[in-house]
Amino acid sequence: MPAVVGLRDATEQLTGNEHVILDGTSGILIVDPTPSQIKTYRERRAIEALEDQELQALSVADSVTLDGHWVTLRANVDLPEEAGFAARSGAEGVGLMRTKFLVVGRATMPDEEEQYRAYRHVVEAFGGRPVVIRTFDVGGDKLPIGSYPTDPNPFLGWRAIRMCLDEPELFKTQLRALLRAAMHGDVRIMFPLIITLDEVLQAKHLLNEAARELDARGVPYRHDVPLGVMVETPAAALSVHTLVDDVSFLSIGTNDLVQYTLAVDRGSANLASRFTPLHPAVLTLIKRIVDVGAAHRLEVAVCGEMASQPLMAFALIGLGVRCLSVAGRAVPLVKRIVRGVSAAVAAEAANAALESRTAREAEGELRRRLMTAFGDAPFLRDGLPSFVEGNIFEGSGGLNTSSAHE
Ligand code: PEP
Ligand code: MG
């Protein structure tokens, strides 16, 4: 289903009797389109259907650059039911399973058994391939059941790992379910919103307690589950060298990293144009994380929405990222980028982007080189299609399936 969000007062202005075209790729709603616009969109829909077929054929192709660098593509899974689709899209595992669906909007907390079944479902959909499951990233504006304090600024508030460490029983219930689900495949546990090593050590301590509780009950579980952290704050990015000895992998959450680095609320429609992942500060932080990870032979993935967009995926490959976790729908699209570029050219483009003074300049550097590789392919086009004019509402749409615009 195409979707566009952030259309401001569109629903107030429209009566419901207009004809509209909803363009989820460009993020626009065209009101009472002209016959020529309708014709153009019909043609475009036919071209996209053909493109989709071509892309689906890529699901079994290798994810390797022209100069032989492998880029692992995994999928982001928000609900267990999405696992089958993600697996069929050619994803080599799950790079981020968000678990808040278990908590948000419910009247009771899920018990260990319910969680175990949900995790096991996803793990089994992916056979023996890696499934990175993130512990609860709730709190702040998404509190679980109970009378918990609310913060005036939820994004800087009591949430994610902070809440889990303060609510050890809630956290250990999840950890026990994860340790048990890990018996069925390659589960990896990931902690969100880490800003200091202390949090990692406390989380590991609680994981050990959870394991002992399973021992006491005689319940089987996996003992060597790899642990990783999300690097999604400037604090974690700048001090990532302090974390590397105690984790098995890093995953960069660019949705939050951009928000916290630029002080731009990721959910604000008013600020959408200021949410610029190619800002020099963001690129510099990503480069630093990748370099520190490489020096310690740690896998560094990117699981924010940035990785799902062709131009940005190109930038990330150039920055040295070799694992991208993207929306299931975007797996073939990103694979096409991987297979169509050389890592050397991507590195040159990323260096030029890093030296740029603004996000716009960086985008120009990347786009120029990517267009050399792909020509004027429709999926690389920027901004509004030239044939769009007249009565439109602009928002954001496309492949963005995350909570970025919830
Ligand atoms: C991120 O912050 O980039 C991320 C992947 O996590 P979420 O979008 O769930 O905050
Ligand atoms: Mg995040």
Instruction: Determine the Cα–Cα distance for residues 306 and 294; give it in Å rounded to an integer.
Output: 21
Lowest mean pLDDT among 5-14, 79-88, 342-351: 5-14
Residue 318 dihedral angles phi and psi, to the nearest 5°: -65, -30
310 Cβ closer than 6 Å to some ligand 1 atom: no
Q: Are 193 and 233 in contact (CB under 8 A)?
A: yes
Confirm or reject: Cβ of 140 under 6 Å from ligand 1.
Answer: no
Answer yes or no: CATH 3.20.20.60 is held by domain 63-384: yes
Give the chain's largest Cα–Cα span: 71
Which pLDDT score, from 0 to 100, does residue 399 have?
Answer: 43
Helix (H) or strand (E) holding 94: strand 94-97
The domain spans of the chain are 63-384
Q: How far is the C-alpha of 248 from the C-alpha of 209, rounded, in Å?
A: 20
Q: Find out whether the beta carbon of 304 lies less than 6 Å from any atom of ligand 1.
A: yes
Which of 159, 261, 303, 325 to mutate for ligand 1's pocket (most ligand atoms within 8 Å of CB)?
Answer: 303
Which pLDDT score is estimated for 63? 97
Residue 402: what pLDDT?
Answer: 37
Q: Is the CB of 137 inside a 6 Å radius of any atom of ligand 1? A: yes
Binding site membership of 232 for ligand 1 (Cβ less than 6 Å): yes
Atom of ligand 1 nearest to the CA of 232: 2
* Mean pLDDT, rounded, for 238-256: 98
Q: What is the pLDDT of residue 383?
A: 54
CA gap 193, 257 in Å, rounded: 10
Length, in residues, of the chain: 406
Asked whether residue 360 carries a pLDDT value surpassing 80, the answer given is yes
Q: Which residues pair with 393 in a beta bridge?
A: 29
Q: Which of 390 and 277 is assigned the larger pLDDT?
A: 277
Q: Which residue has the higher pLDDT, 277 or 54?
A: 277
Q: Range with the lowest mean pLDDT among 28-42, 280-294, 317-331?
A: 28-42
Mean pLDDT, residues 144-168: 83
Give the residue, by CA position, lying nearest to ligand 1 atom 4.
253
pLDDT tens sequence across 206-246: 999 999 999 999 999 999 999 999 999 999 999 999 999 99
Q: Does residue 188 surpass a pLDDT of 50?
A: yes
